[in-house]
């Protein structure tokens, strides 16, 4: 979306307490959301921008500087949406969203590319016996191409890349209300540890049916148990997709009591529905 579209959306949802922009870490999105936030502030709307950068597959890609924003976005939207409904102020909401981001990690794979309508051709080519590991959600290729493997082996590759990912430190830009300017903020993602309670999210890239996703989830649950991670909640389905791409992604989010309570809060949307 363009900055003026984002501004109009902010005006429509603004109830006087401010607006939180949850931004996937893609260069164009980051730039446009910063511009939209500046425009909104000029019109008297308080705005916080929180970046989601949870993809452990690559440090930099065609569309990003740093890790891409993928599956944790959905989880942040649900948790922060429930918090906003409970009346969290904007600062507390932004702090919560930042905490969700630093505790979430994702990685995806693809068996096919996708066709962006404006282009009309696949964004990359894969042989019938090939797969792409570490893909993004904009049709970009991954970090590695290899021969197709059984589902359990694929799941293990993705899961261990997430679970064994070391501490990750980077600098992001956030708005400082007191200074009235954009400032650099250092964020540190802690690694997963035995005993952690996690939400396990297995996502279809668009063309993979739910039945096959549960094959992935079964193996993921087995790996988490072996690594000492306790799955306390799960989500399986097509929630963050790349058109018709066949493939999946895995997201693990370390949960605390507050995040768990907000995840369980009733929700009634086209994508998520429980407790109502």
Q: Which of the residues are catalytic?
A: 138
User: Among 213, 189, 188, which Cα is nearest to 201's?
Assistant: 213
Q: Write a three-state SS string for 48-102.
A: EEEEECCECCCCCCCCCCCCCCCCHHHHHHHHHHHHHHCCCCHHHHHHHHHHHHH
Which helix H or strand E contains 254, and what residues bound it? strand 247-254
Report how far residue 202's alpha carbon sits from residue 189's, in angstroms, rounded to the nearest whole number: 21
Strand stretches in 92-244, DSSP E: 104-110, 130-133, 144-147, 168-176, 181-189, 197-204, 230-237
The separation between the first and the last C-alpha atoms of the chain, rounded to the nearest angstrom, is 31
Q: With contact defined as beta carbons under 8 Å apart, do 17 and 45 qualify?
A: no
For 158-190, give one letter per residue: b (16+ CB within 10 A) or e.
bbebbbeeeebebebebbeeeeeeeeeeeeebe
Look at the alpha carbons of 95, 36, 137, 183 in this order and tell me if their dihedral is positive or negative.
negative
Report how far residue 78's alpha carbon sits from residue 235's, in angstroms, rounded to the nearest whole number: 12
Under DSSP, is residue 144 helix (H, G, I), strand (E, B) or coil? strand
């Amino acid at each position: 979306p363009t900055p003026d579209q984002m501004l109009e959306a902010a005006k429509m949802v603004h109830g006087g307490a401010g607006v939180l922009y949850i931004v996937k870490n893609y260069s164009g999105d980051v730039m446009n959301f910063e511009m939209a936030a500046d425009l909104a502030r000029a019109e008297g709307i308080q705005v916080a921008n929180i970046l989601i950068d949870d993809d452990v597959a690559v440090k930099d890609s065609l569309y990003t500087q740093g890790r891409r924003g993928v599956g944790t976005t959905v989880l942040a939207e649900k948790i922060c949406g429930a918090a906003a409904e409970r009346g969290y102020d904007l600062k507390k909401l932004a702090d919560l969203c930042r905490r969700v981001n630093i505790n979430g990690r994702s990685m995806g794979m693809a068996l096919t590319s996708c066709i962006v309508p404006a282009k009309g051709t696949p964004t990359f080519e894969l042989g019938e016996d090939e797969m792409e590991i570490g893909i993004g959600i904009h049709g970009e290729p991954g970090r590695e191409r290899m021969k197709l493997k059984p589902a359990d082996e694929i799941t293990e590759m993705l899961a261990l890349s997430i679970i064994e990912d070391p501490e990750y430190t980077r600098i992001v830009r956030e708005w400082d209300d007191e200074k009235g300017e954009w400032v650099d903020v250092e964020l540190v993602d802690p690694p997963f540890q035995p005993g952690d309670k996690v939400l396990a999210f297995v996502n279809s890239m668009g063309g993979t049916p739910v039945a096959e996703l549960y094959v992935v989830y079964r193996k993921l649950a087995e790996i988490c148990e072996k690594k000492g991670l306790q799955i306390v909640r799960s989500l399986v389905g097509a929630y963050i997709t790349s058109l018709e791409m066949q493939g999946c992604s895995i997201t693990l989010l370390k949960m605390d009591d507050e995040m768990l309570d907000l995840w369980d809060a009733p929700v009634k949307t086209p994508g998520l529905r429980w407790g109502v």
